[in-house]
Amino acid sequence: MELTFYTYRKADILEMMDIWNDILEDGMAFPGTELYDLERFEAMLGEQTAATCLAVDGRLAGYYILHPNNIGRCGHVANASYAMKKEFRGRGLGKHLVSRSLEEAGELGFRGMQFNAVVAGNTAALRIYRQAGFETVGMIPGGFRLKDGSYSDMYVLYRSLL
C-alpha cells in the first residue's frame, strides 16, 4: 500500500466535496448541516492555510484542511478537520492524516493544534487524537446536536507543537 500526500489539485475538488458532504450527511462529526455546492466548497478550500490530500495507491482516500483556530493574538494555534472516504475508513489511515497535519502545522509556524468540537461518539477520531498526544482540555455537555435530534457531549482537545 503506497501512501502519498500532496496539496490538493483542482481535479480533486469534486471528489473532495463529495467526501465532505458524506460526512455532513452522516451528522456524527462535522458541525455543519448544509451540504456544499461546488462554488461554496471551492471558496472554503481557498480560505485554508493548507489542504492536503492522502492518496492510497494513487486513489484519493482522504484529506485535511488546516488553518488558524482563531485570529490575531490567537492565530498561532492551528485547527484542522479530517475527511476520509468511507471505503478507506477503518484501515488505520486516519493516524497518517493527523500525523502529517501536525508536521505541516509545525512547518507553517503554528505552536499548537486545537480541536473545538470532537463528538464523544466519534471514538475512532478520539483514539487517533489521543495516540497523537492530544489532551482533553474541556468538555461541553450536550454541545453537539446529532442528526436524529439528540445531543452528544463534545470535547475540546489540544496538543503543543513545540
- In tens digits, the chain (162 residues) has pLDDT values of 899 999 999 999 999 999 999 999 999 999 999 999 999 999 999 999 999 999 999 999 999 999 999 999 999 999 999 999 999 999 999 999 999 999 999 999 999 999 999 999 999 999 999 999 999 999 999 999 999 999 999 999 999 999
pLDDT digit string (tens) for 17-38?
A: 999 999 999 999 999 999 999 9
Residue 79: domain span: 3-160
Candidates 63, 73, 155; CA nearest to 114 is: 155
pLDDT of the residue at 54: 99
Helix, coil or strand: residue 114: strand
CATH of the domain at 95: 3.40.630.30
In the chain, how many domains are there?
1
Kindly give the pairing relationship between strand 112-119 and strand 151-160. Answer: antiparallel
Cell 471551492, residue located: 42
Residues 6 or more apart whose CB falls under 8 angstroms from that of 63 comprise 8, 12, 16, 19, 51, 52, 53, 54, 82, 83, 97
